[in-house]
Amino acid sequence: MFILLFLLSPMNFKQPPDPREIDWLLHEAEQEEEELDLSEYSDVIETLREKGFSWRKIADWLNKRNVPVTHNQLYYYAVKSQAQESDEEDPWESNPNNPDYEANKRTKKSPLDDLE
């Protein structure tokens, strides 16, 4: 019974910040560091993936060399990069009027194909 009352007590419900605190939140947001640009490390990441490293092992490898990154950041960077590359492909490849359209569709790689 006590646990139920505790869980339903008003102190467990978070209130949105007071509108007067928005300036403070903006100040804190401006102080945050920029996200790491992983494109600078794309060749390193690609080389390690070709050697069979998992996303976690690549993250550990980079962290040991003072590059603060998580395996999730690496994975989403790879997905985003591959999506950008496919956007840059020749539109004729994905055109249903192209005689090789079905063959191209079957040979397209998914970003998930590289996951271990």
Burial of 25 (0-12, 13-18, 19+ CB in 10 A): exposed
Note the pLDDT of residue 54.
94
All structural domains of the chain with their residue ranges: 41-116
- Which among 33, 114, 32 has a CA at the least distance from the CA of 74? 114
Q: What is the pTM of this model?
A: 0.53
More confident residue, 24 or 60: 60
For the stretch 6-49, pLDDT in tens is 555 555 567 777 777 888 888 888 888 888 889 899 999 999 99
Please give the DSSP secondary-structure letter assigned to residue 10.
Answer: G
Say if residues 110 and 83 touch (Cβ distance below 8 Å). no
